[in-house]
Amino acid sequence: MLLSRVPSPLSLFTNSSSRRILSSKLALSPCSAYRPPCQPSTFNLLFKRSIYQTKSPSRSAFHACRPSFTRRFHSSLSPNPEVHLSPPIISKHLFLVAGLVFTIVIVGGYTRLTESGLSITEWNLVSGVLPPLTPEDWEAEFAKYRATPEFKLLNHGIGLEEFKKIFFWEWAHRLMGRVIGLSFLLPIPIFLRFGLIRTKKTGMSLVGIGSLIGLQGALGWYMVQSGLDQEELDQRDGVPRVSQYRLAAHLLMAFAVYSACIRLAGGLWRDWTLAVDRRPLFHHLNRHKILSALESIQILHNKLPTRARFSINALTALIFLTAASGGFVAGLDAGLVYNTYPKMGERWVPPLSELFSDLYTNRGKSNLAITSGEEEEEGRRPYLDLSWMRNMFENPTTVQFNHRILGSLTFLSSISWAVFIEKNKNLLPRSTLNMSRLVALVASNQLALGIATLVYLVPTSVALLHQANSLLLLSVSLFAGLTLRRPSALALKSFYKYQAQALVKPPQKIQLP
């Protein structure tokens, strides 16, 4: 008897009348011991068990009539082929860590804006988890703070209650750093135990991210020390604050950890989605998804997506550079120098004598000057003097000017990239077009927040939004780059092996005896 093609094999599992008809037909066949199939479970699919559950006495009977019945209920392809890709749990773990890093950047920004970063004078990795709990503990901490240069020069009028407020934000910032470290490290042994880290590249990337997190903690304490040592303050301008070099490095390290988590998590997720999530149990039901994936793969291997991918990577690097200059602005309080826009005072460009002031050059004492032995003995000027570069990092006027230039360049580059994607939207993935529009929107918002921060003399709320939006701009640029990312070789191999084959093997008609 020749049956017509069954449009949905799942209906055989849910329709009771179909199950009774199938059972009656099987009872008349030589394989009458075969039990009707049950609905496949996630557990069976996950551990590579057959979707057919049979009793052990009828197993030989089932194999005897397997060619007659198996193609009716599943593809001739393996329902769960071996794929050497890390599962989505790794990506979810990294996205969680990235979210925590985003939060700690905001908390750190508020800690800096409220000048709370120097309220804790010691680094106790274990005992510092808990804040002071008794009045005696609070008095001891306050006594340590009264010995710091910041209290003697700036905050000598605050009492214990005001000290508790600034102490809380620095304590919360350090506590979140510990939480991030534990959140990243604790699941790693579990992943290794169950073999979820399946490629060497993924393992090395996780080691690199863990190293960056540990280095970030050490760099944070190294930064705080620069504001507690009176000798280091005397070598600078004497103002009790952390070194702008270490502050910018601390901020960039946080951006680097965040970017590494997003790129690795997004790449693993896209590879798994291509190779595994679209792997159909009944391939003719997901035929359109396979065709769509094939089209996307072909698009991403053209020249235009390569150009777009290179340009978005360059834009991401520019965002990093602009964020670094913002760290120098924050470290020097350079946002309070000129509070007009677009001009700086009454000029478009400040005088050169102000941009490259001898006050910050420190000729003869600069380690940027290369001298010979004879010149050093005779006291002549060095033959290669680079001491003027100190103005780029220590002169508040020059630092603000640099940040204005880089911020404007980032905004114009974001708009230009969005226009480029819009013009070539028919040759690029739809997701890239959506992300390009989002990049332009967030960049415009960032420019507006920067101007508001400058004009209104750096209010805490607006400045904090400006810092958070900079990380948001980095996020959308990273996700835009992921839309143009080519699948890995393992993902392509799995896709072509188990997905593309399904396109040439349509479901067959079933002949029952």
Q: What is the pLDDT of residue 178?
A: 96
Q: How many independent structural domains does the chain possess?
A: 3
Q: What is the pLDDT of residue 301?
A: 85
Q: What is the pLDDT of residue 114?
A: 92
Q: What is the pLDDT of residue 82?
A: 58
Place of tokens 């630092």: 399
Q: What is the pLDDT of residue 409?
A: 98
Place of tokens 């301008």: 237
DSSP string of 20-33, one letter each residue:
HHHHHHHHTSTTTT
H or E element that contains 369: strand 369-370
Give the residue from 226, 244, 277 where a domain finishes: 277
Q: What is the pLDDT of residue 6?
A: 38
Considering the domain architecture, whether residues 259 and 246 belong to the same structural domain is answered as: yes
Q: What is the pLDDT of residue 500?
A: 58
Residue type, 14: T
Residue 165 lies in a domain: yes
Distance between CA atoms of residues 349 and 55, nearest Å: 86
Residues of the chain with pLDDT under 50: 1-81, 279-285, 363-367, 369-372, 375-376, 505-513
**8 Å CB contact between 239 and 155:** no
DSSP string of 467-495, one letter each residue:
HHHHHHHHHHHHHHHHHTPPPPHHHHHHH
Q: What is the pLDDT of residue 384?
A: 55
Residue 513 lies in a domain: no
Q: What is the pTM of this model?
A: 0.79
Considering the domain architecture, whether residues 270 and 379 belong to the same structural domain is answered as: no
Q: What is the pLDDT of residue 297?
A: 84
Backbone phi, psi, residue 115, to 5°: 55, 50
Residue 59 lies in a domain: no
Distance between CA atoms of residues 289 and 109, nearest Å: 44
Q: CB within 8 A of 199, min separation 6: which ones?
A: 84, 85, 86, 490
Residue type, 494: S
Structural domain boundaries enclosing 95: 86-277
Residue 509 lies in a domain: no
Q: What is the pLDDT of residue 278?
A: 52
Residue 413 lies in a domain: yes
* Residue 350 burial (CB count, 10 A): 18
Considering the domain architecture, whether residues 465 and 403 belong to the same structural domain is answered as: yes
Considering the domain architecture, whether residues 109 and 197 belong to the same structural domain is answered as: yes
Considering the domain architecture, whether residues 117 and 187 belong to the same structural domain is answered as: yes
Considering the domain architecture, whether residues 138 and 210 belong to the same structural domain is answered as: yes
Q: What is the pLDDT of residue 204?
A: 96
Backbone phi, psi, residue 366, to 5°: -85, 135
Considering the domain architecture, whether residues 427 and 390 belong to the same structural domain is answered as: no
